[in-house]
Amino acid sequence: MTQLLLGRVLRFTADPFAEGPEAARLDEALVIDQGKIIAVGAADALRRSHPEAQVTDYGDHLISAGFIDAHVHYPQTAIIASWGKRLIDWLNSYTFPEEMRFSNFSYAQDVADRYFDLTVSHGTTSVCSYATIHPESVDAFFTAAARRGQRVWAGKTCMDRNAPEGLRDTAQSAYDDSKALLAKWHGAGRASYVITPRFSPTSTEDQLSAMGALWAENPSCLMQTHLSEQTDEIAWVQSLFPTARDYLDTYERHGLLGKGALFGHAIWLEDREKARILETDASLIHCPTSNTFIGSGLFDMGGLKAAGHRIGLATDTGGGSSFSMLRTMAAAYEVAQLRGRALHPSELWWLATAGSARALHADHQIGTIATGMEADLVVVNLASTPAIEQATRRADDIWQALFPTIMMGDDRAIRATYVAGACVHGG
């Protein structure tokens, strides 16, 4: 059935980091048919041109592209907000013991279902996730997403050293398992496979080379990993790869740098690394709640965007401390403030929608509201709590009205979430 949604429709026509707030515009309505947006514009005009459409009037609520979380670990759903560890201790104390459980498909399926229920309730319609070394964990994730019709990315995490027995594969088994999962899931419905070496410390050079070979054979896939998250991690990488020029070189020498590479965190980059990432058009994924929660450092959003880098935004569940992209935007604002750059609300919202879509090379499908785009949407109540309502009441423009929800909003602000044109949360 054709649907007509009325409200304050926020959409981007350009990158506000380059064009300022004028990169966004407000419309009054949009029309959905067969899972895609077929018209955007004035409410009266769309009522006249689509008299058969089922009308849902959201009044003053904001209608936006759904949030896109560009770096998550869905297997860490149950350990989110665990106390008091830095990265390496976090992995050993919390992550690895939990990931051992994902050889059981039923357990993985339960966590995947819970994860998608949580994220949809926060307005997130697409995610790019790490699984575990177990093929069952990948199958569970994609199966749960397919039932909901969501556009998602994921891959089997590959580790053949510096991990417990039971969480290690080999260079050959990582290649074989990843190749089989890729053949099964890549391009199946709205699923995309991502080649996924966890990070250099947990992969031998043979395994990194195997992943590079698999990516070269399947260039339509993305490749995701971690880079320069913490200073002690970088020192560890230097000890494991003594001939590498820097952390990035541990990937580059094995064919794991290029367009379609997603590097999570990227806080402590050297000048050579920045130049090569920019030259190859790889993506950087900012994970601000994680970076503050486990004490990693402050991402240089202002400097990297000014240089022209492709950047997405992510919760990094469960090192990140929230499933909410609203909370993630707030944390990105706070981190940037500590580096002397006050991100505009338009920049924050763009990062969580169109920016993450661009980082995932999916901005032709999702991330903004335009004719022909997939109808993944979030409807946001900009007066969801008394504290937010009293702030928005004083607003002079949409950005002043939106900013209190960015800084103080949670799942109560999410009036509805649409996936491929179907309302899957709220109403």
Is 90's pLDDT higher than 90? no
Q: Work out the average pLDDT over 135-141.
A: 98
Separation of alpha carbons 279 and 123, rounded Å: 34
Q: Which of 322, 345, 319, 315 is nearest to 127 (CA)?
A: 315
Residue 323 CB neighbour total at 10 angstroms: 24
How is the chain split among helix, strand and coil, in percent rounded to 5? 45, 25, 30
Is 59's pLDDT higher than 80? yes
Q: Which of 267, 207, 217, 275 is nearest to 241 (CA)?
A: 207
Helix axes 135-148, 105-121, angle to 10 degrees: 40
pLDDT at 197: 98
Q: Work out the average pLDDT over 257-265.
A: 98
- Rounded to 5°, the CA angle 147-75-315 comes to 90
Q: Which of 295, 300, 273 is nearest to 200 (CA)?
A: 273
Phi, psi of 351 (to 5 degrees): -60, -40
Mean pLDDT of the residues in the chain: 97
Token pair for 352 = 């969580």
- How does residue 92 score in pLDDT terms, banded at 50, 70 and 90? confident
Counting residues of the chain whose pLDDT is more than 90, the rounded percentage is 95
Contact at 8 Å (CB) between 392 and 401? yes
Residue bearing tokens 């995701």: 224
What stretch of H or E contains 182? helix 171-185
- How does residue 88 score in pLDDT terms, banded at 50, 70 and 90? confident
**pTM (predicted TM-score):** 0.98
265-291 pLDDT tens trace:
999 999 999 999 999 999 999 999 999
Burial class (CB in 10 A: 0-12, 13-18, 19+), 147: exposed
pLDDT at 115: 98
Contact at 8 Å (CB) between 119 and 64? no
151-182 pLDDT tens trace:
999 999 999 999 999 999 999 999 999 999 99
Q: Work out the average pLDDT over 211-219.
A: 98
Return the CA Rg of the chain. 21
pLDDT at 168: 96
Q: What is the DSSP letter of 407?
A: H
Q: Work out the average pLDDT over 384-413.
A: 97
Is 422's pLDDT higher than 90? yes
pLDDT at 286: 98
8-49 pLDDT tens trace:
999 999 999 999 999 999 999 999 999 999 999 999 999 999
Is 91's pLDDT higher than 90? no
Is 85's pLDDT higher than 90? no
pLDDT at 181: 98
Contact at 8 Å (CB) between 223 and 210? no
Is 83's pLDDT higher than 90? no
pLDDT at 81: 87
Q: Work out the average pLDDT over 67-76.
A: 98
Q: Work out the average pLDDT over 338-365.
A: 98
Q: Residue 102: CB partners within 8 Å, gap ≥ 6?
A: 75, 108, 111, 131, 132, 134, 136, 137, 140
Lowest-confidence pick of 84-98, 247-261, 305-319: 84-98
pLDDT at 394: 95
Question: Where do the structural domains in the chain lie, given as residue ranges?
Answer: 3-65+367-426, 67-359
Contact at 8 Å (CB) between 340 and 302? yes
pLDDT at 371: 98
Is 53's pLDDT higher than 90? yes
Q: What is the DSSP letter of 66?
A: P
Phi, psi of 268 (to 5 degrees): -105, 55
Is 82's pLDDT higher than 90? no
- How does residue 239 score in pLDDT terms, banded at 50, 70 and 90? very high
- How does residue 369 score in pLDDT terms, banded at 50, 70 and 90? very high
Instruction: Write out the CATH class of domain 3-65+367-426.
Output: mainly beta
pLDDT at 87: 74
pLDDT at 328: 98
pLDDT at 84: 77
Q: Which CATH number, 2.30.42.10, 3.10.20.740, 1.10.10.60, 3.20.20.140, labels domain 67-359?
A: 3.20.20.140
